[in-house]
Structure 1
Amino acid sequence: MFPRSGGEKVYLEDVYRKSKYLATIVFAANAILLGFTASGCIVFASKCDQIAGQWNERGIALGVIFFVTLLHGLTPKTGVFIMNLLSIKIVILAFVVVTGWVVLSGKTRVTDPHYNFRNAFAESSMSSYEYATATFKVLNAYAGWSNVNYDVNYDVNYMMNNVRDPVRTLKIAGPLGLGICAVLYLLANVACFAAATKTEIDKSGVTVAALFFGNVFSSTAERALSVFIALSALGNVITVTFAASRVNQELAKEGIPLPFGNKFWASNWPTGKSPLPELIIHLIPSVIIIVAPPPSIEFFQKQQLRRFPLVHPYAYRTIERSLDHAFELGTLDYSRCRSL
């Protein structure tokens, strides 16, 4: 484990030492050009105004990403506080799980909660495209804790310099966080299949939870949940933007060619506590993805755009270590390459 910021960059540089800077440049191209959080902004906008036109929705999404950029760049402590505050969405997820158990007991207005489980795999798709799309969606669900092994986690690893006692903290938080999310996500899926038919779920789009609340409670509850979905999306944007700016800062420190000189981009200007220049680098592709694609491009298509360069060459390799690592994984090194 490398207790410093940079995400996969740190591990790739240690694994792929030849040619020098190759891993750094390839990772930088992906992180800078495809490092956007447009998807979360669009979800927030769509839930804030369900009847908004395409450009009204884009205007709200742009307002979100500019707000988050200034929030982290000028008032970093407030940004971290809001991130922690919005973690209340875990409570909503737990409520969905418990409600799902009640639905399965048959004590709600759902007429046949066991219908989807009698022949669960009937009419399942055999298309490789469908499986690939589903994989991308699942990867996004675990984007914050994407690595199961002692190799440190995705977003958290991006900001290791901001974690107190990172080795001890992440050895505990990694498996614990992944385990909690896995159990809650699995049971939430069971709850949704108990409350809605496959056809309803297929037509629900991004937010199946809203359909769940509508079927179990009422249309009023469905509309109320939209507020929590919007806040959850906002929390995602705030968290990912915070992490991505730290990655960009590490790349600037490595000397990746950027306009106006790397000293400026690697700095914590203007507050001395948060890298506003790197937040601006993250802002640019996010704005492009929000504004440029035509209206026919849906949420998950924009989301998957960032995932297309994702390749996992989990390789067995013996590496000569020149560093005294906090703890070793032995000669079996798991490398996660986010480049073509």
Structure 2
Amino acid sequence: MKEDLKQPHLKHELGLLDGTMLVAGSMIGSGIFIVSADITRNVGSAGWLIVVWLITGFMTLTAALSYGELSGMFPKAGGQYVYLKEIYNKLMGFLYGWSFFAVIQTGTIAAVGVAFSKFTAYLIPAVSEDNILFNLGFIKISAAQIVSICVIVLLTFINTRGVKSGKIIQTTFTLTKILSLFGLIIFGFWALSSNTWHLNWSNAWTLHKLNTDGSFAEYTSVAALGAIAASMVGSIFSSDSWNSVTFIAGEMKNPKRDVALSLFLGTMIVTLIYVAANVMYTAVLPLHDIATADKDRVAVAASHVIFGNGGTIVIAVMIMISTFGCNNGLIFAGARVYYTMAKDGLFFKKTGTLNKFSVPEFGLWIQALVASILCLSGKYGDLLDMISFVVVLFYVLTIIGIYKLRITRPDAERPYKAFGYPVLPAIYIVMGIAFCILLIIYKPNFTWPGLGIVLLGIPIYYFSQRNLKDEVPADTDN
């Protein structure tokens, strides 16, 4: 027993500010600077652009407030994996953890890393995605991809040195990008063009497709729903990873209280910033310019109007700070899921060990390896489609679990109860299911592969259980 006490264990070093900064920092990456171009092409009007962000914000806040109940019931490392395992069974928990490792977390890390390198190229053209370093025939490797991989490796190494290193980076970079975004929004409204504003908002509530030549294409009623769902791929990706704080609950000082509060505060701050930023875009850029921004870099186009020729440098630095801090939070939190899975005998046994700094180092490095491989795809938009579908699918299953637990465990301790229960969680479930169905119909090229990755976990689960049943640790308490 004495020897066990000397073993490294997760340290309770994170408070409410750290949790809130992890939520906000993991959410704010590159999406808010880019995805509004694709949304505008799909909806074709300023009003519907804002509606898409408001719907996403409502869904995010509703989900976060619902997760507050689960975080209080199960204040352990692993977050959503733990919730799904407790709600349903080990198989469901494994399917989430497998998907998290194969595409959700690693794919998000890769997408944010690719975005970091794209904007770094504004300052250092030599690292552009157009600079192909290796042409292997079946794949071309650019300088931008190498940069994104190097950033992932650097942040992974820093996070292997202990919780404090990652915490300092997260808080510093998140506060910096929140203040920078507020500054951009304020200066944007200061530079408001009355002509642009009236032009964008004079016909703000007509939903139609905006073509790159400036023409419009009308939707049928059903196709209009598909357009909204396709638009929300980007906004949901931009608002995702809000649940990162649940993964590190085992390192929070007061997880029963602070995880739920961090979820609420972090998602509220980011939702307000996202909606305000998009209203600002419509104040300085004609709708056509938002839709046709070079390589979808809406924020670059807006900052050029706001700050002149120096705007490109301003926004490039902002996005570099934003994506660097975002990836730190994703990398920091992700490995805790694999750690908890390993403790339950559902992942590589070595992932369930901590290094001398009390962090799951092996989990951090295998996460970095998969994310680096995904970086080589260089397909930012493809990753968005695949990730958004899988993420919302598991969010819906988790929130359904709140109803199930109210029936099967009515007497369980609930320090915090889901806000608006049973109405708001039910609205999220309906919206989430509709979103997933519409994506399957209108974006099948990536939603079906995403679903395939989830289902691939079923044979992997049974194979792993057959081989690991004799290796499951007796003590799975985190």
TM range (shorter): 0.7 to 0.9
Structure 1 unaligned regions, length at least 5: 146-153
CA distance in 2, matches of 1:144, 1:308: 14
Structure 1 residues 112 and 132: CA distance shift in structure 2, 3 A = closer
Contact 1:115 / 1:194 at 8 angstroms: preserved in 2?
no
What's the CA shift string for 1:250-303, capped at 9, x where partnerless?
Answer: 111110142xxx1x211112x332211000121122111111x2x6x3x12223
CA distance in 1, matches of 2:342, 2:262: 28
Structure 1 residues 28 and 161: CA distance shift in structure 2, 3 A = same
Question: Offset at 1:230?
Answer: 1.0
Question: Offset at 1:69?
Answer: 1.1
Matched, 1:63 2:150: yes
Question: Offset at 1:155?
Answer: 0.7
Q: Which residue of 1 aligns with 2:382?
A: 301
Contact 1:103 / 1:113 at 8 angstroms: preserved in 2?
no
Identity value in percent: 20
Number of paired residues?
Answer: 316
Q: Which has the higher helix share?
A: 2
Q: Which residue of 2 aligns with 1:287?
A: 372
Structure 1 residues 265 and 223: CA distance shift in structure 2, 3 A = same
CA distance in 1, matches of 2:347, 2:330: 23
One-letter amino acid of the structure 2 residue matched with residue 178 of structure 1: T
Question: Offset at 1:180?
Answer: 1.9
CA distance in 2, matches of 1:224, 1:96: 9
Contact 2:335 / 2:364 at 8 angstroms: preserved in 1?
yes
Q: 1:81 aligns with which of 151, 163, 168?
A: 168
Structure 1 residues 246 and 190: CA distance shift in structure 2, 3 A = same
Contact 1:71 / 1:78 at 8 angstroms: preserved in 2?
yes
Q: Which residue of 1 aligns with 2:78?
A: 6
Q: Which residue of 2 aligns with 1:42?
A: 114
Matched, 1:120 2:204: yes
Q: Superposition pairs for residues 191-340 of structure 1, below 5 Å?
A: 191-204=280-293, 205-258=295-348, 262=349, 264-269=350-355, 271-291=356-376, 293=377, 297=379, 299-310=380-391, 311=393, 312-313=396-397, 314-315=399-400, 316-317=403-404, 318-321=406-409, 324-327=412-415, 329=417
One-letter amino acid of the structure 1 residue matched with residue 205 of structure 2: F
Q: Which residue of 1 aligns with 2:99?
A: 30
Q: 1:140 aligns with which of 232, 237, 245?
A: 237
Contact 2:249 / 2:259 at 8 angstroms: preserved in 1?
no
Q: Which residue of 1 aligns with 2:269?
A: 180
CA distance in 2, matches of 1:332, 1:10: 22
Question: Offset at 1:6?
Answer: 1.1
Question: Offset at 1:99?
Answer: 2.3
In terms of mean alpha carbon deviation, does 2-11 or 38-47 score higher?
A: 2-11
CA distance in 2, matches of 1:244, 1:229: 22
One-letter amino acid of the structure 2 residue matched with residue 61 of structure 1: S
Structure 1 residues 213 and 69: CA distance shift in structure 2, 3 A = same
CA distance in 1, matches of 2:177, 2:238: 14
What's the CA shift string for 1:131-174, capped at 9, x where partnerless?
Answer: 233222222222243xxxxxxxx111111112221222234333
One-letter amino acid of the structure 2 residue matched with residue 319 of structure 1: I
CA distance in 2, matches of 1:304, 1:162: 32
SS in 2 for 1:245: helix
SS in 2 for 1:217: helix
